[in-house]
């Protein structure tokens, strides 16, 4: 399944949730079906609101960097160039969305807390000394795909 958040173009500012399937969005409140919308009737939002934390795991390592959860944005939003940035870098990633209490989880139980995955593009500032700042922005979405 592909979960998404969106707003209707005719009703901007009201976040809604649904399931994306074959080019349509099936709106739901989590229990009941509300309606069916064509893709051109909606604007996609980040598939999750503002996450509590964002961690960027390095491929092949157990180490991670913290990312600013306030800079997560959706597929249709514009990233503004920060005034201090000379160059912007891009790190494509796969975002794993953890549901419930996702802290200090033993590896054997990790599959039990994974809600799904979505695409992420992490925008970073590149610094002359080789460092990166991960607080520019992280685009996620457009949908969370469940493990099934």
Is the previous residue joined to 142 through a cis bond, with omega within 30 degrees of 0? yes
pTM listed for this prediction: 0.77
Q: Return per-residue pLDDT of the chain as tens, 148 residues.
A: 899 999 999 999 999 999 999 999 999 998 999 999 999 999 998 888 778 788 777 667 777 777 888 888 887 788 887 777 777 888 888 888 887 666 777 888 888 888 888 888 888 887 666 667 777 888 888 899 998 8
How many C-beta neighbours within 10 Å does residue 129 have? 4
- Distance between CA atoms of residues 143 and 12, nearest Å: 19
């Amino acid at each position: 399944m592909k979960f998404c958040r969106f707003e209707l173009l005719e009703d901007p500012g009201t976040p809604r949730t649904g399931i994306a399937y074959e080019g349509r969005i099936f709106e739901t409140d989590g229990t009941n079906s509300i309606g069916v919308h064509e893709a051109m009737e909606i604007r996609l939002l980040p598939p999750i609101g503002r996450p509590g934390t964002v961690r960027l795991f390095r491929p092949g390592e157990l180490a991670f960097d913290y990312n600013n959860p306030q800079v997560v944005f959706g597929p249709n939003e514009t990233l503004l160039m920060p005034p201090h940035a000379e160059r912007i870098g891009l790190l494509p990633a796969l975002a794993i969305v953890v549901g419930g209490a996702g802290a200090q989880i033993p590896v054997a139980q990790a599959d039990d807390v994974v809600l799904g995955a979505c695409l992420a593009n992490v925008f970073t500032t590149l610094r002359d000394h080789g460092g990166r700042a991960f607080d520019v922005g992280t685009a996620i979405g457009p949908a969370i795909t469940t493990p099934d």
